């Protein structure tokens, strides 16, 4: 792990960026995680995802930067970041470091195992990473990439403006939900419920 990845995560950072992404699928997952005294099980998808990311990192070390439209950049893998302002912490698959000093740019990269179009939740995740990088390391982080492990192509996303307002709004909503301990409504679509590890708690949907 690089020096950049060695960030002490304080207990006061309540939520993870994964919570931010889960909230988009179903707020109840975040509610159960923080409001019920249970240990969340590790699923096959979690294990498979971790293995795929390890393989991706090994391959990335041998690739050029052509997929990101860059000629030169330093790569940092499995980067730990945190924000006291947001109350978030997380780990970024890869961060590209471009330039030096006040002009240094941090570019978060998130790996995904799908060919589906990039959803709003992924932009939210990358935006949160960008905000944490700026708070932790200084410099700027205005863009990021989603790299598809299936197509081996990278999609660039802008991570400023309304995208940052969206992150703050969702974090505030999660915090209010957990502090009030009021279970939210289920998602409109029941498709995510079929393979959810918390499905046995939702007697009103299954």
Tell me the CA distances in angstroms from 23 to 16, 70, 101, one per residue in order. Answer: 11, 33, 36
Residues 38/32, Cβ–Cβ less than 8 Å: yes
Other beta carbons within 10 angstroms of residue 48's beta carbon come to 11
pLDDT the model gives residue 154: 95
**Residue 145 contacts residue 69 (beta carbons within 8 Å):** no
Is pLDDT larger for residue 189 or for residue 110?
Answer: 110
Pairing mode of beta strands 88-98, 105-112: antiparallel
Residue 183: CB atoms within 10 Å: 16
Q: Which H or E run contains 111?
A: strand 105-112
Phi, psi of 99 (to 5 degrees): 80, -175
pLDDT at 119 over 60: yes
Parse the chain into domains and list their residue ranges: 3-16+50-177
Q: What is the pLDDT of residue 13?
A: 45
Q: Dump pLDDT digits (tens) for 1-38.
A: 444 443 444 344 489 999 999 999 899 999 988 888 66
Q: What is the pLDDT of residues 157-174, one digit of tens each?
A: 999 999 999 999 999 999
DSSP state, 151?
A: T
CA separation for the pair 55, 32 (Å, rounded): 31
Query: Can you read off the two tokens belonging to residue 45?
Result: 């998808």
Mean pLDDT, the chain, whole residue set: 84
Closest among 169, 109, 106 to 135, alpha carbons compared = 106
* pTM recorded for the entire structure: 0.84
Residue 144 contacts residue 109 (beta carbons within 8 Å): yes
Higher pLDDT, 110 or 61: 110
Within 13 Å of residue 102, how many CA atoms lie on the same side as its CB? 0
pLDDT at 115: 83
């Amino acid at each position: 792990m690089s020096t950049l990845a060695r960030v002490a995560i304080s207990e006061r950072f309540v939520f993870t960026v994964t919570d931010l992404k889960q909230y988009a699928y179903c707020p109840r997952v975040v509610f159960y995680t923080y409001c019920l005294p249970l240990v969340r099980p590790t699923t096959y998808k979690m294990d498979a995802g971790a293995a795929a990311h390890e393989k991706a990192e090994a391959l990335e070390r041998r690739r050029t930067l052509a997929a990101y439209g860059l000629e030169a950049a330093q790569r940092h893998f499995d980067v730990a970041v945190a924000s006291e302002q947001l109350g978030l912490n997380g780990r970024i698959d890869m961060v590209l470091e471009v330039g030096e000093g006040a002009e240094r740019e941090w570019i978060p990269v998130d790996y995904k195992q799908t060919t589906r179009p990039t959803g709003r939740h992924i932009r939210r995740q990358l935006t949160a990473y960008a905000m944490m990088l700026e708070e932790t390391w200084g410099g700027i982080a205005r863009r990021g990439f989603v790299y598809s492990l299936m197509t081996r192509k990278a999609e660039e996303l802008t991570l400023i403006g309304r995208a940052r307002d969206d992150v703050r709004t969702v974090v505030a909503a999660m915090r209010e939900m957990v502090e009030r301990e009021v279970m939210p409504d289920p998602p409109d679509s029941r498709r995510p419920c079929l393979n959810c590890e918390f499905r046995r708690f939702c007697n009103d949907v299954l």
